[in-house]
Amino acid sequence: MIALEEIDKSFDDLHVLKGTSLTVREGGVTALIGPSGSGKSTLLRCVNLLEIPQSGRVRIDDAMIAFTPGGKVDRKAVLALRRKTGMVFQNFQLFPHLTALENVMEGLLTVLRWDRGRARQRAEDLLEKVGMSEKADAWPSSLSGGQQQRVAIARALAPSPKVLLCDEPTSALDPELAVEVVEVLAQLAREGTTMLMATHDLRLAASIASEVVFLDGGVVVESGPATQLFGAPQRNRTKQFVSTLTAQERPPA
């Protein structure tokens, strides 16, 4: 079980998350949608504690950390929790000094201390899964954005995380390159990978998410199965936001 409970997070004077709670269903894809500045990226980054909330609880399976304002943060607990997650960034953030294959092997070698042969095997398998076998020895700087993101997905999956966190995985890509990344994510979804994805790409959310959480102003406005949230939203604010999706789909007059 992956859950965020009553998360409060401020940056200086900016109160981003206001007692926000979220549960991620295992084996499914949960999409966090909402307008810019709604706090969806911040909420996502609270799961692997790249952002440390001022208060609230973060739970992944039996590991739980409770944060209190001014309380001390247990680094070991943070690390243990974070190691149950993998993350895909908007800007890929591959390690530029390592090849595609080495990028995927890095966590296995450095963090999990696997031997090279075993790490190499696992990395090759993952690169094949994302369709990047042929570019295993390429430097990231020689890959297109879509290719870099696919390698980044393989890197995030390497240590077999409980949940794959995706922060705007297609936003830095032009539509053509975004398609290849969406295909990989859809494939992972079909295989039952637990994913939590922050995105303002409603098409991406509609096509692969099973659950959708609509966030606005740091609070959850509405959440539920994707079909319900997109098909029959209950709240006016949600209707208004989701209507931008239907507007996109309507062919130009």
146-165 binders of other proteins (CB under 8 A): 148, 155-156, 158-159
Q: Of 54 and 171, which has the nearer Cβ to other proteins?
A: 171
Counting residues that bind other proteins (by CB under 8 A) gives 34
Is residue 48 within the footprint of other proteins (CB under 8 A)?
A: yes
Burial of 43 (0-12, 13-18, 19+ CB in 10 A): buried
Rounded to whole angstroms, the Cα distance separating 212 from 245 reads 14
Is residue 140 within the footprint of other proteins (CB under 8 A)?
A: yes
Is residue 87 within the footprint of other proteins (CB under 8 A)?
A: yes
176-235 binders of other proteins (CB under 8 A): none
Is residue 77 within the footprint of other proteins (CB under 8 A)?
A: no
Shortest separation between residue 18's beta carbon and other proteins, angstroms: 24
Contact flags string 5-44 toward other proteins, x per CB under 8 A? ----------------------------------------
Is residue 96 within the footprint of other proteins (CB under 8 A)?
A: yes
Burial of 155 (0-12, 13-18, 19+ CB in 10 A): buried
Q: Which string of DSSP letters, residue by residue, matches 168-196?
A: STTTTS-HHHHHHHHHHHHHHHHTT--EE
C-alpha distances (whole Å) from 147 to each of 74, 75, 180 are: 37, 34, 8
Residue from the set 79, 116, 192, 243 that interacts with other proteins by CB under 8 A: 79
Placement of tokens 């595609």 in the chain: 100
Is residue 144 within the footprint of other proteins (CB under 8 A)?
A: no
Q: Of 156 and 182, which has the nearer Cβ to other proteins?
A: 156
CB–CB of 35/245 below 8 Å? no
Q: Of 30 and 48, which has the nearer Cβ to other proteins?
A: 48
C-alpha distances (whole Å) from 237 to each of 35, 231, 243, 250 are: 11, 14, 10, 21
Residue from the set 3, 50, 64, 186 that interacts with other proteins by CB under 8 A: 50
Residue from the set 142, 234, 240, 244 that interacts with other proteins by CB under 8 A: 142
Spacing of C-alpha 203 from chain mean position: 16
Is residue 236 within the footprint of other proteins (CB under 8 A)?
A: no
Residue partners of 90: CB distance under 8 A and separation at least 6? 167, 168, 169, 171, 172
CB–CB of 85/47 below 8 Å? yes
Q: Which of 62, 49, 87 is nearest to 197 (CA)?
A: 87
Residues found near other proteins in the complex (CB under 8 A): 48, 50, 79, 82-83, 85-87, 89-98, 106-107, 110-112, 139-142, 145, 148, 155-156, 158-159, 172
